Amino acid sequence: MAEEFFIQGNEACAKGAIAAGCRFFAGYPITPSTEIAETLSRELPKVGGSFVQMEDEIASAGAIIGASWGGTKSMTATSGPGISLMQENIGYAFMTETPMVIVNVQRGSPSTAQPTMAAQGDMMQARWGSHGDYEPIALSPSSVQEFFDFTIKAFNLAEEYRVPVFVMADEVIGHMREKIVVGDDIEIIARKRPEKSDDYLPFENIENGTTPMPSFGDGFNIHVTGLTHDERGYPDTNTPETHDKLIQRICDKVLNNRDKICSVQSENCEDADIVIVSYGGPVRSVVEAVNRTDKKVGYIKLDTPWPFPEDQVKELTANAKDIIVVEMNLGQMYYEIDRVCKRNANVHLMGKIGGLLPTPDEILDEIDKIGGN
């Protein structure tokens, strides 16, 4: 029996986390993500989970990695300034292939900027925030229902590929109240327990580019390190081949499974002259604008900004003359779309900062400015 709720985006995220099997949350209060921590501090003890308010975001990221190796699905939620602090440990999680979920309810940035206003300024930070080469997965919800669904999806992807997954919401989605429907057939992917054998290697390629992950105390006596390590997990920092093999595998496990991970939603793209590409909160205005205009305009909504759904976007914009990228920053995903589409279409940026969603009228004006028929 499906249940319906009228709740806030952040509460929906917390609900999704519990539904996905998250039983450990460590966080630090930060507007506009605090309601996620508040809700989980209330709900986790009711389902045998642990809530810890850590001393800062650095410690929060560390604690969820520790908890993940302790055998518990774990999550933290924060906003831009907190993500900046977490980057070191996020890099560590990529290097050690630790499944975990990081919710980023984006606010005006850089620095402290606009705590109570929406923005999408952390998209490139999610991609390149920590030092070095890695391939993140990021999901971008544009409704309360999607915030719930994507949180669950984030946990599933994290477990499947042993990778940290970002949920890139924004202040509008986090604080908006909408109806959500919680079905009773939610698909949950559990962590696979490796079989005990003498030749078990915790960091090799068995399936999806990775290996089933044991938890501490299972008797595998694994060594987990952020140093370049071989398949046993032992540090080997001076051999070029070891590093190359490790980093290639960490990147390839996401890139080679792009067709399974990436998802987009689109409408009217096949015969459209203008295609609007957007993600997160602004999609709501884009949909409205596309419905209102009488020109041949379609839209693409990126469910997974990272890994960038290159093939899908290329295919859907094959017939377009112009592409408008609508986002709440001064051009981040724009460059990625420009890279992919510039050979067959003109890519325009409609970046709006300041904290308010672009309105349908503004998008219609932009369409008129570009022309099309």
Partner 1 sequence: MSEHKQNRFLPYLREDRLPHIFCPGCGNGAIINAFLAAMEKAEMDFDNVAMVSGIGCSSRIPGYLNCDSLHTTHGRALSFATGLKTANKDLDVVVFTGDGDAASIGGNHLIHAARRNINLTVICINNNIYGMTGGQISPTSPKGSFGTTAPYGNQDTPFKLAELVAAAGASYSARWTTVQMENLVLSIKDGLKNPGFSFIEVATQCPTYYGRKNKLKTPTAMAAVMKANTIFKSEADRMRPRDVEGKIVVGEFANTQRDEFTQNIEKLSVEKSGKKTLINSAYETEL
Residues 6+ apart with CB under 8 A from 333: 123, 277, 279, 302, 305, 308, 325, 327
In terms of CB distance, is 158 or 286 closer to partner 1? 158
Amino acid symbol at 245: K
Binding mask 268-287 for partner 1 (x = CB under 8 A): --------------------
Minimum CB–partner distance for residue 39 and partner 1 (Å): 14
Residues 6+ apart with CB under 8 A from 324: 274, 275, 276, 277, 348, 349, 350, 363, 366, 367, 370
In terms of CB distance, is 87 or 263 closer to partner 1? 87
In this structure, the strands spanning 73-78 and 100-108 are parallel
In terms of CB distance, is 99 or 309 closer to partner 1? 99
Q: Candidates 111, 197, 221, 238: give the one binding partner 1 (CB under 8 A).
A: 221
Alpha-carbon span 100 to 78, nearest angstrom: 14
> By CB under 8 A, is residue 26 in contact with partner 1?
yes
Alpha-carbon span 212 to 203, nearest angstrom: 9
Candidate segments 63-71, 169-177, 322-330, 363-371, binder of partner 1 by CB under 8 A: 63-71
> By CB under 8 A, is residue 362 in contact with partner 1?
no
Q: Are 78 and 30 in contact (CB under 8 A)?
A: yes
Minimum CB–partner distance for residue 162 and partner 1 (Å): 11
Please give the backbone phi and psi of residue 104, each rounded to the nearest 5 degrees, phi first. Answer: -120, 105
> By CB under 8 A, is residue 216 in contact with partner 1?
yes
Count the site residues for partner 1 by CB under 8 A. 57
Residues 6+ apart with CB under 8 A from 289: 276, 297, 360, 361, 363, 364, 367
Question: Which residue in 44, 95, 134, 54 sits closest to 233, CA to CA?
Answer: 95
> By CB under 8 A, is residue 183 in contact with partner 1?
no
Minimum CB–partner distance for residue 20 and partner 1 (Å): 10
Minimum CB–partner distance for residue 167 and partner 1 (Å): 18
Binding mask 69-88 for partner 1 (x = CB under 8 A): xxxxxx-------------x
Candidate segments 31-39, 51-59, 140-148, 305-313, binder of partner 1 by CB under 8 A: 51-59
Alpha helices in 233-308 (DSSP H): 240-255, 258-261, 283-292
In this structure, the strands spanning 274-278 and 73-78 are unpaired
> By CB under 8 A, is residue 165 in contact with partner 1?
no
> By CB under 8 A, is residue 343 in contact with partner 1?
no
Binding site for partner 1 (CB under 8 A): 21, 23-24, 26, 45-52, 54-56, 58-74, 88-89, 92, 99, 159, 188-193, 215-217, 219-227, 234-235
